[in-house]
């Protein structure tokens, strides 16, 4: 690049008609921003670029243009799996969104009892690895399942199983989105509608629906893209039903065909990126009707309505409990379904390449990812929020930090595998170690914690920073005395989020482990492949218990820490 | 950034804050257009204007929180345009209080002193002094969320004053408070400023607030200074129709100078001082409602030294100390007329009753159109 070009770029990034007033803290923030941009380049842009380039090469490494894509579209079996993926993800979304809407409506808009209990129940699936949901369904509805007659002879393995497990898996996401959407409505709108003698249906159409339609759209998109890109469930319960994610796995792991794996990855990536931008568009259109002056909605009791929604919430609870209970029971039964006596034998994992070490690997990896991830995410969100002098830089960084949301884990994992094994890559030594698992997991999960931290930081008055500057406060003192204490609760939440996701993550790490760093979630897949499903359930149950314990510990610590360090909140 | 020494001849008095030809635009939108003025030491100046007129941006430029696109700011004879906020020796108070939510009242006030690495007992002494100065006794251990709005704003003031800044900047400090608290705190701010003799700049959109507080008002509109003067000058000698309209209530009428000291407006003539406006030019006349006297219709003398007009009452508003009559003249021109409570007679001043109006020629102000 010519020096002229370089200086031109720096002008557009930093300079204005007159030099900006720069505090020392502004310089610090600027350089940290630049460092984050470089890091994002190395962990997201370059690997995905390498993946894309690989899709244009043949097995000998020569460029063949779109030849691989032509092969792909010419192979009907491969292209069928694209349609299959689309089918199961749309069906799942169409099922989950109304279910979640009804559930969230019951929690927020009725007077049914035990609301906080049901709110907790809806989030339980977050603690269960997706694979375990699939295994539980096998025990419930499979060929030798407890309730196999309920499927009227249709096979569980295939689309029905994938949709069923995916529904349980994505239910909490949809409920969380619907809760947010339904929370924000002004009771006065309902009062106004009532005074104007509006029928219940018209009230729903003109008051309830407009306030939550963007939430419904967002939930639909999030569920669709999650199922579309998921690997674990389809692997365990998909049978002969091919989807994109399992195709990638087969091409890469089974046939060592990285080029075709890269092509299918691009097929997976394009719809995901499209949905990402669509979702951001929807989100930006959501103009909140809920202002500071709004009156929060408080429902009035209505026997039949409360009863109906209570019934629905109980049904969901029973189903989730039976899935979890079935998985636990299956892992303890000697030989399903012939010998139902209980045993811990399945927890001994006498299978080659699998053992308790995988379990400790998982805990170790999740702890590292959560701890480093929280630190990195917070500093990143902090500089994005505070880079008041470098608007372009800040926008670029914000975009880069949301990008992981658009990249499916499997694609990111394969991109890392290809990128890191590129001859001459100085980071090549990372391959097979714990560090690459931590990096890929943190990168994969980056966006949601980033948004959480950003929200917490926005809770502080912008003018607080100005006051700090006028009082000649160093950036470190400002951070430790004011910003960190105020964001403590959010940081604990971020740590928990990364830990829980890292414990159950599969797609982002399936291509990157070595025998020394194999995680429990990967081990579950391998045990399942050997046909010892009870052992797979046992390994997955271990993950569930760790997640449950950490979740409870987080609750207790958060309460204690908040009481000690944030006394102003209790007032 | 280093502070560049500037030639002294550009600044007459070293103890002044001088703003010279300051402009600021965001992208292609100009916010400040060539603004220049001076502030004396110990003076209380208000930036007054409608929202979006650039007054807050101007204040942020003084604080160093915004960089002007062009122009200079001098303090005590030195250019400080490029100096960061920490080197400007200013205290700043925002409308939102911007108190540190996780720190007690005591720690909030002491925050700047800790930055200066003062000794603990010296900090305690200073904070105690400020606490009693701002009547915050007994609240030292509380958190901001436990205080009322007025108390929070007092804490913000104390925090800004603690480091004894040479310039105090107030960004609409009273706007978030309810009416009674606002009036009381307004008086307290003025007392405090007088006692501490601290140069103070306050941004406000409330003309009454500016009039009661300021030594001088900088009245701004669309990025420019419309008029700079004492509250009395701004109200009584407005430089432009905008100033006249913004300060208090006004009747603005269009007219043409017909002869010396005579202006024709629609279908009636008014005698007034037309010195600065040659015959034939179009002018705008300002009539303050309180400058229009109401006279009984029956005893109108024919050739009085004042302008006499006839009108019909269309609406009566009771404002407490005065009654505002909205009247309509035969030509269709609407005027606002204030009747003092003592002169108001319900029997005479009812809707659709006729009214005689008297206007002293010296009370009419003319603006070129």
pLDDT digits (tens, 9 = 90+) for B127-175: 999 999 999 999 999 988 889 989 999 999 999 999 899 999 999 999 8
Looking at residue A567, its pLDDT comes to: 67
- Between residues 92 and 121 of chain A, which touch chain B (CB distance below 8 Å)? none
How many angstroms separate the CA atoms of B46 and B206, rounded? 10
Distance from CA of A393 to the nearest CA of B (A): 16
pLDDT at B369 over 90: no
Helix (H) / strand (E) element for A496: namely helix A484-504
Q: Do A19 and B1 touch (CB under 8 A)?
A: yes
The answer to whether residue A463 neighbours chain B at the CB level (below 8 Å) is: yes
Across the A:B interface, residue pairs with CB atoms under 8 Å apart total 98
Helix (H) / strand (E) element for B308: namely strand B307-318
- Whole-angstrom CA distances from A420 to A50, A62, A412, A448, B60 are 9, 19, 12, 26, 49
- Whether residue B228 contacts residue B71, with contact meaning beta carbons closer than 8 Å, is answered with no
How many angstroms separate the CA atoms of B366 and B244, rounded? 11
**Omega before residue A337 within 30° of 0, cis:** yes
Nearest chain A residue to B167 by CA: give it: A470
> In B, which residues are within 8 Å of A19 by CB distance?
1, 67, 82
The answer to whether residue A392 neighbours chain B at the CB level (below 8 Å) is: no
The answer to whether residue B90 neighbours chain A at the CB level (below 8 Å) is: yes
Q: What is the mean pLDDT of residues B328-343?
A: 89
Q: Do B144 and A467 touch (CB under 8 A)?
A: no
Nearest chain B residue to A565 by CA: give it: B102
> In A, which residues are within 8 Å of B1 by CB distance?
19, 21-22
How many CB atoms within 10 Å of residue A328? 17
Mean pLDDT of chain B: 88
Nearest chain A residue to B3 by CA: give it: A21
3-state SS, one letter per residue, for A381-446: HHHHHHCCCCHHHHHHHHHHHHHHHHCCHHHHHHHHHHHHCCCCCCCHHHCCCHHHHHHHHHHHHC
Please give the structure tokens belonging to residue B121: 């007992």
Helix (H, G, I), strand (E, B) or coil at B178: coil
DSSP B53: S
How many angstroms separate the CA atoms of B136 and B138, rounded? 6
- Whether residue A563 contacts residue A570, with contact meaning beta carbons closer than 8 Å, is answered with yes
Q: What is the mean pLDDT of residues B106-124?
A: 92
pLDDT at B9 over 50: no
Nearest chain B residue to A479 by CA: give it: B100
Q: Residue A118, class by beta-carbon neighbours within 10 Å (0-12 exposed, 13-18 middle, 19+ buried)?
A: buried
Q: Do A21 and B116 touch (CB under 8 A)?
A: no
Helix (H) / strand (E) element for B295: namely strand B292-295
The answer to whether residue B141 neighbours chain A at the CB level (below 8 Å) is: no
Looking at residue B97, its pLDDT comes to: 85
Task: Give all strands of the β-sheet with B70-75 in edge-to-edge order.
Answer: B29-39, B17-26, B70-75, B78-79
Looking at residue B140, its pLDDT comes to: 93
Q: Do B116 and A472 touch (CB under 8 A)?
A: yes
How many angstroms separate the CA atoms of A33 and A400, rounded? 11
Confidence of residue B301 (pLDDT cuts 50, 70, 90): low
Distance from CA of B86 to the nearest CA of A (A): 4
Per residue in B219-271, pLDDT (tens digit) is 999 999 999 999 999 999 999 999 999 998 999 999 999 888 888 887 788 88
Q: Do B86 and A23 touch (CB under 8 A)?
A: yes
- Whether residue B191 contacts residue B203, with contact meaning beta carbons closer than 8 Å, is answered with no
Q: Do B94 and A567 touch (CB under 8 A)?
A: no
The answer to whether residue B27 neighbours chain A at the CB level (below 8 Å) is: no
> In B, which residues are within 8 Å of A22 by CB distance?
1, 84
Residue from the list A19, A466, A485 with its beta carbon closest to the beta carbon of B92: A466
Residue from the list A23, A467, A486 with its beta carbon closest to the beta carbon of B102: A486
Looking at residue A491, its pLDDT comes to: 92
Looking at residue B303, its pLDDT comes to: 63
Residue from the list A21, A472, A485 with its beta carbon closest to the beta carbon of B67: A21
Q: Do A460 and B85 touch (CB under 8 A)?
A: no
Hey, of B32, B98, B159, B170, which one would you mutate to test binding to chain A, going by the most A CBs within 10 A of its CB?
Answer: B98
DSSP string, A124-170: GGGGS-HHHHHHHHHHHHSTT-TTGGGGTT--STTHHHHHHHHHHHH
Residue from the list A19, A466, A486 with its beta carbon closest to the beta carbon of B101: A486
Record the pTM.
Answer: 0.81
- Whether residue A179 contacts residue A104, with contact meaning beta carbons closer than 8 Å, is answered with yes
Size (chain A), residues: 571
Looking at residue B297, its pLDDT comes to: 59
Question: What residues of chain A score a pLDDT lower than 70?
Answer: 1-20, 286-294, 565-571
Residue from the list A18, A466, A485 with its beta carbon closest to the beta carbon of B65: A466
Looking at residue A268, its pLDDT comes to: 92
Helix (H) / strand (E) element for B204: namely strand B199-204
> In B, which residues are within 8 Å of A561 by CB distance?
none
Q: Using only the alpha carbons of chain B, give its radius of gyration.
A: 25
- Whether residue B70 contacts residue A17, with contact meaning beta carbons closer than 8 Å, is answered with yes
How many angstroms separate the CA atoms of A262 and B150, rounded? 63
> In B, which residues are within 8 Å of A23 by CB distance?
84-86
Looking at residue B3, its pLDDT comes to: 43
How many angstroms separate the CA atoms of A55 and B155, rounded? 63
The answer to whether residue A474 neighbours chain B at the CB level (below 8 Å) is: yes
The answer to whether residue A484 neighbours chain B at the CB level (below 8 Å) is: no
Instruction: Report the DSSP pairing between strands B167-171 and B29-39.
Output: unpaired
The answer to whether residue B64 neighbours chain A at the CB level (below 8 Å) is: yes
Q: Do B85 and A469 touch (CB under 8 A)?
A: yes
The answer to whether residue B28 neighbours chain A at the CB level (below 8 Å) is: no
How many angstroms separate the CA atoms of A408 and A90, rounded? 17
Q: Do B92 and A22 touch (CB under 8 A)?
A: no
How many angstroms separate the CA atoms of A481 and A434, rounded? 34
The answer to whether residue B98 neighbours chain A at the CB level (below 8 Å) is: yes
> In A, which residues are within 8 Å of B92 by CB distance?
466-467, 470
Residue from the list A16, A469, A474 with its beta carbon closest to the beta carbon of B65: A469
Looking at residue A59, its pLDDT comes to: 84
Angle at A33 between CA A28 and CA A34, to 5 degrees: 100
Looking at residue B21, its pLDDT comes to: 93
Strand partners, A528: none
Buried residues in B228-262 as b, exposed as e (16+ CB within 10 A): bbebeebbeebbebbbbebbbebbebebebeeeee
Q: Do A16 and B145 touch (CB under 8 A)?
A: no
Distance from CA of B183 to the nearest CA of A (A): 24
Angle at A215 between CA A213 and CA A218, to 5 degrees: 110
How many angstroms separate the CA atoms of A159 and A345, rounded? 32
| CA–centroid distance for B338 within its chain | 23
DSSP A186: B
Nearest chain A residue to B156 by CA: give it: A467
The answer to whether residue B173 neighbours chain A at the CB level (below 8 Å) is: no
Confidence of residue B200 (pLDDT cuts 50, 70, 90): very high
How many angstroms separate the CA atoms of B292 and B358, rounded? 6
ipTM of the complex, rounded to two decimals: 0.70
The answer to whether residue A205 neighbours chain B at the CB level (below 8 Å) is: no
Distance from CA of A128 to the nearest CA of B (A): 37
pLDDT at B8 over 50: no
Confidence of residue B43 (pLDDT cuts 50, 70, 90): very high
């Amino acid at each position: 690049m010519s020096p002229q070009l370089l200086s031109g770029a720096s002008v557009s990034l930093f300079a204005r008609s007159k030099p900006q007033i720069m505090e020392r803290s502004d310089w610090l923030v600027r350089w940290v921003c630049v460092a984050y941009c470089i890091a994002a380049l190395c962990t997201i842009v370059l690997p995905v670029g390498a993946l894309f380039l690989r899709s244009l090469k043949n097995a000998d490494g020569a460029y063949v243009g779109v030849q691989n894509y032509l092969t792909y579209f010419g192979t009907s079996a491969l292209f069928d799996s694209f349609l299959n993926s689309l089918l199961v993800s749309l069906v799942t979304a169409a099922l989950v969104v109304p279910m979640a809407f009804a559930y969230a409506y019951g929690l927020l808009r009725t007077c049914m009892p035990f609301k906080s209990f049901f709110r907790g129940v809806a989030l339980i699936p977050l603690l269960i690895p997706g694979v375990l949901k699939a295994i539980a369904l096998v025990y419930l509805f499979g060929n030798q399942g407890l309730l196999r007659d309920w499927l009227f002879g249709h096979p569980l393995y295939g689309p029905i199983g994938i949709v069923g497990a995916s529904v349980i898996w994505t239910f909490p996401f949809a409920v969380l989105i619907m809760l947010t959407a339904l929370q924000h409505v002004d009771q006065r709108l309902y009062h106004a509608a009532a005074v104007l003698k509006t029928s219940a249906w018209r009230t729903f159409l003109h008051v309830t629906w407009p306030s939550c339609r963007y939430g419904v759209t967002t939930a639909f998109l999030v569920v669709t893209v999650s199922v579309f890109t998921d690997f674990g469930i389809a692997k365990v319960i998909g049978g002969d039903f091919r989807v994109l994610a399992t195709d990638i796995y087969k091409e890469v792991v089974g046939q060592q065909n990285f080029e075709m794996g890269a092509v299918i990855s691009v097929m997976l990536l394009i719809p995901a990126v499209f949905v990402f931008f669509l979702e951001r568009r929807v989100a930006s259109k959501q103009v909140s009707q809920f202002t500071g002056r709004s009156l929060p909605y408080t429902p009035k009791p209505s026997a039949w309505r409360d009863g109906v929604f209570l019934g629905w919430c109980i049904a969901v609870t029973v189903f989730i409990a039976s899935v979890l209970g079935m998985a636990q029971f299956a892992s303890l039964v000697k030989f399903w379904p012939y010998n139902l006596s209980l045993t811990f034998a399945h927890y001994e994992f006498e299978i080659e390449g699998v053992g308790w070490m995988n379990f400790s690997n998982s805990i170790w990896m999740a702890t590292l990812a959560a701890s480093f991830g929280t630190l990195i995410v917070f500093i990143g969100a902090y500089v994005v929020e505070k880079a008041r002098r470098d608007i372009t830089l800040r926008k670029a960084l914000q975009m880069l930090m949301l990008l992981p949301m658009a990249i499916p884990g499997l694609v990111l994992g394969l991109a890392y595998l290809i990128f890191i094994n590129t001859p001459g890559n100085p980071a090549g030594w990372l391959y097979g170690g714990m560090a690459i698992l931590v990096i890929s997991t943190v990168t994969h999960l980056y966006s949601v914690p980033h948004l959480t931290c950003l929200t917490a930081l926005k809770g502080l008055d912008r003018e607080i920073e100005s006051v700090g500057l006028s009082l000649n406060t160093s950036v470190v003192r400002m951070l430790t005395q004011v910003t960190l204490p105020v964001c403590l609760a959010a940081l604990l939440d971020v740590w928990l989020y990364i830990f829980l996701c890292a414990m159950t993550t599969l797609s982002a790490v399936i291509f990157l482990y070595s025998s020394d760093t194999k995680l429990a979630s990967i081990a579950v897949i391998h045990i399942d492949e050997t046909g010892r499903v009870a052992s797979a359930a046992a390994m997955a149950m271990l993950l569930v218990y760790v997640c449950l314990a950490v979740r409870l510990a987080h609750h207790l610590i958060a309460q204690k820490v908040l009481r000690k360090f944030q006394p102003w909140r209790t007032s | 950034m280093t502070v560049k020494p500037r030639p002294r001849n550009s600044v007459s008095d070293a103890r002044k804050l001088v703003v010279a030809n300051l402009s600021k635009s965001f992208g292609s939108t100009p916010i400040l257009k060539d603004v220049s003025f001076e502030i004396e030491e110990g003076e209380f100046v208000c930036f007054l204007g409608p929202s979006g007129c650039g007054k807050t941006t101007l204040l942020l430029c003084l604080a160093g929180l915004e960089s002007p696109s062009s122009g200079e700011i001098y303090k005590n004879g030195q250019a400080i345009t490029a100096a960061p906020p920490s080197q400007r020796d200013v205290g700043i108070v925002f409308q939102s209080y911007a108190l540190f939510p996780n720190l007690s009242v005591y720690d909030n006030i002491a925050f700047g002193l800790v930055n200066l690495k003062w000794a603990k007992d010296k900090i305690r002494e200073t904070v105690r002094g400020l606490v009693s100065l701002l009547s915050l006794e007994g609240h030292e251990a509380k958190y901001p969320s436990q205080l009322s709005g007025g108390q929070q704003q007092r804490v913000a003031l104390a925090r800004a004053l603690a480091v004894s800044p040479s310039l105090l900047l107030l960004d609409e400090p009273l706007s978030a408070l309810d009416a009674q608290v606002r009036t009381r705190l307004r008086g307290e701010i003025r007392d405090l400023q007088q006692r501490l003799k601290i140069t103070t700049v306050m941004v406000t959109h409330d003309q009454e607030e500016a009039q009661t507080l300021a030594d001088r008002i900088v009245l701004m509109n669309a990025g420019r200074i419309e008029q700079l003067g004492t509250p009395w000058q701004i109200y009584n000698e407005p430089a432009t129709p905008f100033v006249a309209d913004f300060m208090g209530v006004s009747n603005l009428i269009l007219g043409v100078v017909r002869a010396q000291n005579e202006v024709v407006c629609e279908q009636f003539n008014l005698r007034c001082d037309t010195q600065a406006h040659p015959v034939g030019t179009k002018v705008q006349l300002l009539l303050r409602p309180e400058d229009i006297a109401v006279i009984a219709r029956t005893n109108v003398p024919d050739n009085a030294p004042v302008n006499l007009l006839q009108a019909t009452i269309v609406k009566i508003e009771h404002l407490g100390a005065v009654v505002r009559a909205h009247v309509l003249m035969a030509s269709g021109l609407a005027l606002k007329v204030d009747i003092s409570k003592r002169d108001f007679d319900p029997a005479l001043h009812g809707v659709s009753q006729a009214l005689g109006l008297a206007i002293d020629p010296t009370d009419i102000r003319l603006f070129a159109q």
